[in-house]
Amino acid sequence: MRTVLVTGGAGFVGSHCVASLLERGFAVVVADNLSTGHRAAVPAGAAFVHLDLNDRAGVAALFQRHRFEAVLHFAAKSLVGESMQNPFLYLRENYVTSLNVIEAAVAAGVRKMVVSSTANLFGTPERMPIDAETAIDPGSPYGESKYLVERALLWADRCAGLKSACLRYFNAAGCHPDGLLGEDHHPETHLIPLVLDAAAGRRSHIEVYGDDYPTPDGTCVRDYIHVMDLADAHIRVLDALETRSVRYNLGTGTGYSVREVIAAVERVTGKTVPVKVGPRRPGDPAILVASSDRIREELGWSPRFDTLDGIIASAWAWRAAHPDGYGDGPAR
Question: Can you tell me whether residue 171 is helix, strand or coil?
Answer: strand
Looking at the chain, list the stretches that DSSP marks H as alpha helix, in order from N- to C-terminal side.
12-23, 56-65, 80-85, 87-107, 141-160, 191-199, 227-240, 258-269, 293-299, 308-321
Q: Which residues are catalytic?
A: 142
> With respect to ligand NAD, which residue has the nearer C-beta, 158 or 186?
186
Least distance between ligand NAD and beta carbon 203 (Å): 19
> With respect to ligand NAD, which residue has the nearer C-beta, 97 or 219?
97
Least distance between ligand NAD and beta carbon 150 (Å): 12
Q: What are phi and psi of 172, to 5 degrees?
A: -70, 135
> With respect to ligand NAD, which residue has the nearer C-beta, 271 or 326?
326
Element holding 209 (H helix, E strand): strand 206-209
> With respect to ligand NAD, which residue has the nearer C-beta, 231 or 268?
231
Least distance between ligand NAD and beta carbon 198 (Å): 19
> With respect to ligand NAD, which residue has the nearer C-beta, 78 or 140?
78
- Cα–Cα distance, 106 to 98 (Å, whole number): 12
- Residues in contact with ligand NAD by the rule CB under 6 A: 8, 10-14, 32-37, 52-54, 74-76, 78, 97, 116, 118, 169, 171-172, 185
Least distance between ligand NAD and beta carbon 18 (Å): 11
Cβ-count burial 3-14 (b if 16+ within 10 Å, e if not): ebbbbbbbbbbb
- Cα–Cα distance, 249 to 131 (Å, whole number): 7
- Give which of 60, 62, 61 is closest to 9, Cα–Cα: 62
Any idea what DSSP says for residue 280?
P
**What is the arrangement of strands in the sheet containing 27-32, beginning at the earlier edge strand?**
47-50, 27-32, 3-7, 70-73, 112-118, 163-169, 246-250
Least distance between ligand NAD and beta carbon 190 (Å): 6
Q: How many other CB atoms are there within 10 angstroms of residue 232's CB atom? A: 19
